[in-house]
Chains A and B, each alone.
Chain A
Amino acid sequence: QQQVKQSPQSLIVQKGGISIINCAYENTAFDYFPWYQQFPGKGPALLIAIRPDVSEKKEGRFTISFNKSAKQFSLHIMDSQPGDSATYFCAASKNNDMRFGAGTRLTVKP
């Protein structure tokens, strides 16, 4: 069952541009929404996370926007750099039961 839908599957952005990845969830019981970054040959690494009681969270160049009524959240990467090229996964969790999106492969061109 796909409880978290992620788009796009792949994204190409020029250096310095903004990367935007979107996710939608179905289960309104989810109460924790993390984003993971995964480089080839490595495990996913926690990037940033948000709870549904806030609409936005910013950490450096990374921002999560959260729309509870629409059951959607997105990751914005400002001033994208080639080093940001990786696969990004959104996830949604309730009581430590975490469901992942299918991932977005981001390529940032120099």
Chain B
Amino acid sequence: EAGVAQSPRYKIIEKRQSVAFWCNPISGHATLYWYQQILGQGPKLLIQFQNNGVVDDSQLPKDRFSAERLKGVDSTLKIQPAKLEDSAVYLCASSLMVAGFYEQYFGPGTRLTVT
């Protein structure tokens, strides 16, 4: 079974530029998540989709971050304009319910450096 795919793996941009990340979840996983992982910290949820609807985006900085999941499969996360503090690894995950609980599977992440 193929895992969660993400691209690009690395991105370096200057502050105030825009950037977009792509995620393809595991086939059949209805729930998709975007996390931000700052160096030395645990992942922090940015947004959660159930199919193509948003379940939770309470921690998404909506003035600069946006995400969409058209057709309920692939998803893109965009940052515009980027700030220095956005430097982090952006992880995409998808989940499957197993015995009543959601097991989350993570992609390899995109490491963003904002200079």
| A, B: real partners | yes
The residue that B91 contacts in the complex, of A4, A41, A44, A96, with Cβ under 8 A, is A44
Which single residue of chain A is at the shortest CB-CB distance from B98?
A: A49
- Chain A residues with CB below 8 A from B55, complex form: 96
Which single residue of chain A is at the shortest CB-CB distance from B35?
A: A100
The answer to whether A46 touches B105, judged by C-beta atoms less than 8 angstroms apart, is yes
The answer to whether A43 touches B107, judged by C-beta atoms less than 8 angstroms apart, is yes
- Chain A residues with CB below 8 A from B105, complex form: 46
The answer to whether A51 touches B101, judged by C-beta atoms less than 8 angstroms apart, is yes
The answer to whether B42 touches A89, judged by C-beta atoms less than 8 angstroms apart, is yes
The answer to whether A96 touches B42, judged by C-beta atoms less than 8 angstroms apart, is no
The answer to whether A41 touches B43, judged by C-beta atoms less than 8 angstroms apart, is no
Dominant secondary structure at the B interface: strand
- Expressed in whole angstroms, the Cα–Cα distance for A103 and B42 within the complex equals 6
Count of residues in A whose CB is under 8 Å from the partner chain: 24
The answer to whether B102 touches A46, judged by C-beta atoms less than 8 angstroms apart, is no
- Chain B residues with CB below 8 A from A54, complex form: none
- Chain A residues with CB below 8 A from B64, complex form: none
Q: Is there a chain B Cβ closer than 8 Å to A42's Cβ? A: yes
The answer to whether A100 touches B107, judged by C-beta atoms less than 8 angstroms apart, is no
The residue that A93 contacts in the complex, of B31, B41, B93, B102, with Cβ under 8 A, is B102
- Expressed in whole angstroms, the Cα–Cα distance for A97 and B55 within the complex equals 10
B:54-96 near A, CB below 8 Å: 55-56, 91, 93, 95
Q: Which residues of A contact B (CB under 8 A)?
A: 4, 6, 31-32, 34, 36, 41-46, 49, 51, 89, 91, 93, 96-98, 100-103
A-B contact pairs, 21 of them (CB 8 A): A4-B42, A31-B101, A32-B101, A34-B104, A41-B108, A43-B91, A43-B106, A43-B108, A44-B43, A45-B106, A46-B105, A49-B101, A51-B101, A89-B42, A89-B43, A91-B42, A93-B101, A96-B31, A97-B56, A98-B104, A102-B40
